[in-house]
Amino acid sequence: MKRIISKSFLAITATYLLLGCGATTMVLTPVEKIDTVPLKIADLTESQKKSWGHADLITDTIPGMSVDKAYREIIGSRKGTKVIVAVLDSGIDLKHEDLDGVLWTNKKEKPGNGKDDDNNGYIDDIHGYNFLGESYNEQLEYARILRLKLGDAALQAKAKTKLNEEYQQAMGNKQQYEQILQAVKNADAAVKKQLGKTDYTKKDVSGIQPETEEMQRHIGVLMQMYTFADSIPEVLDELNNGIKHFTEQLNYNLKVDFDGRKDVGDNPYDLLDTRYGNGNPQNRVEDESHGTHVAGIIAAERNNGKGANGVANNVAIMSVRAVPNGDEYDKDIALGIRYAVDNGAKIINCSFGKSFSPNAEWVYDAIKYAASKDVLIVHAAGNDGANLDDPSNPNYPNDQISNGPEFADNVITVGALDSKYGSEMVASYSNYGAINVDVFAPGTDIYSTIPNNKYEFMPGTSMASPAVAGVAALIRSQYPKLSAGQVKKVILESGLSPKTAVILGGDASMNNTLDKISTTGKIVNAYNALLMARTMATGK
């Protein structure tokens, strides 16, 4: 899954160019009410920022999934049946204060004895399995295609074109960020000296009467930075993170001769070579936070007085570590799906994706296997701001080939929403497509768990997907007799259908209505979904 750097990063890059120039009746929310919702003018409060994905569009004017309303008016104190949700992702912090009580535990396995006690083919898999071994940094697939000379000449030529384009972009971004960082550091030091203090505010800076052109430039730099963050230390932190991001791209993701897999001990292009990995799916470094964040969105312990509330209230999270800091291997994903299915998962969240997939058929077969075992897969649409129906913008895995009919009825592909209802509610980075994207859900600046008992806001379709996986878990918990296909049908048909045109890819000249950029034209709604699921399950 392509990482999303914060909106501030993108805005700061643009700024560099400027600097160079200087208890109610329970019924489905009526469709006709959606487009009469007043636009929210006030900024979100701190509390709303941390839970906006759970808000109700009608009462809060925020395009959340009505999760709080669903608990208040439908679920109440009912726990339902526990549902195992596999998080096929990077490693998870299994010791996190908001996750340690919601982990799946393989009770047939004895921890730490080095034996496969339950004969499932995996040793010491207590809370899931680790298909990455001790590796983490990894290439993107097109870099691997060039390193290993995979596929035919046409595939290698396509990979080389993509690599050259992305490498130059990463190099340029890194250089720009370094230049901006130096400019901000210089301005910060000069203003601190001028004010005679180390901590200062925007008001302090605007009150300086510059006596030199140099000081005037420093003030201009800082005042522009204040449009992206509340403090200069925040700006410096984001710039340093941006430099780190682009450096990792250059050193690992886009470096043709880098081999992040060499110490794992398997051939990642041999599906039959399965004796690798280990039973510890814990994250390896603090920066390996993606899986922990995703898990928290689904199932962080609710109402425990700590950081975040997950969408679902009766879930066991199975950690399947298969997504590195780079592109996932098709083999790891295929085996990871099969592992989750065979060990009891009823929902698998897949917050990852890539544009090249040499062995896509391995994953397709695994998806079909999951369908045969009544397992629902929820997948992130991807973060390129692109139309996935365009053959030049593939995003693997998917549930159809070449925009053809779906080969399985157990996959939901999710695009991301911003918290601002109206024309800007589809996230600028979110992929879309009338064939390839099913629904949209909250994805931008979602507050959730990260390693070491911390919490953070993160953006991406990677965050929208687990929100929908959480709704699916609520449905399967409350109405366990519904099949994966039925749960998919409920989620797709029960959402809200705004008719307003939305901006696509952050380009105001490109806009369309949701029904033209997704299969359903809907945003997911937990309240409506539970009502529809009840009717489907009971006939009432």
Query: 473-495: per-residue pLDDT in tens?
Result: 999 999 999 999 999 999 999 99
From the list 538, 536, 534, the residue with the least C-alpha distance to 74 is 534
* Mean pLDDT of the region 461-477: 98
- What pLDDT band is residue 313 in, cutting at 50, 70 and 90? very high
- d(CA 260, CA 96) in angstroms, rounded, equals 27
- What pLDDT band is residue 3 in, cutting at 50, 70 and 90? low
Pick the catalytic residue from 290, 319, 327, 518: 290
Superfamily of domain 14-22+63-138+260-538: Peptidase S8/S53 domain (3.40.50.200)
- What pLDDT band is residue 371 in, cutting at 50, 70 and 90? very high
- What pLDDT band is residue 438 in, cutting at 50, 70 and 90? very high
Supply the pTM of this predicted model. 0.93
Structure tokens, 516: 């033209």
Cα–Cα separations (whole angstroms), residue 209 to 212, 269, 315 = 9, 64, 59
So what's the pLDDT on residue 79? 86
CB proximity list for 456: less than 8 A, separation 6 or greater: 289, 293, 447, 448, 450
Question: Pairing between strand 454-458 and 446-450?
Answer: antiparallel
- What pLDDT band is residue 42 in, cutting at 50, 70 and 90? confident
Question: Hey, where are the domains in the chain?
Answer: 14-22+63-138+260-538, 161-253
User: Is 263 designated active site?
Assistant: yes
Query: Is pLDDT of 508 > 60?
Result: yes
Pick the catalytic residue from 47, 77, 263, 509: 263
- d(CA 271, CA 429) in angstroms, rounded, equals 33
From the list 54, 53, 78, the residue with the least C-alpha distance to 479 is 78
* Mean pLDDT of the region 329-342: 98
The alpha carbon dihedral of 507, 508, 509, 515 has a sign of: positive
242-255 pLDDT per residue, tens:
999 999 999 999 99
By mean pLDDT, which of 5-19, 113-127, 506-520 is the weakest?
5-19
End-to-end CA distance of the chain: 41
Where does residue 539 rank: exposed (0-12), middle (13-18), buried (19+ CB within 10 A)?
Answer: exposed
* Mean pLDDT of the region 99-113: 97
So what's the pLDDT on residue 21? 36
Neighbours of 534 (CB within 10 A): 18
User: Is 290 designated active site?
Assistant: yes
pLDDT over 70 percentage in the chain: 93
From the list 101, 449, 477, 74, the residue with the least C-alpha distance to 290 is 449
The overall average pLDDT reported for the chain is: 93
DSSP state, 495? S
Pick the catalytic residue from 462, 465, 494, 518: 462
Cα–Cα separations (whole angstroms), residue 528 to 378, 491, 518 = 19, 9, 19
pLDDT over 90 percentage in the chain: 91
So what's the pLDDT on residue 520? 98
So what's the pLDDT on residue 540? 77
- What pLDDT band is residue 120 in, cutting at 50, 70 and 90? very high
So what's the pLDDT on residue 13? 56
- d(CA 439, CA 522) in angstroms, rounded, equals 6
So what's the pLDDT on residue 2? 53
- What is the signed CA dihedral for 447, 416, 529, 82, rounded to 10 degrees? -50
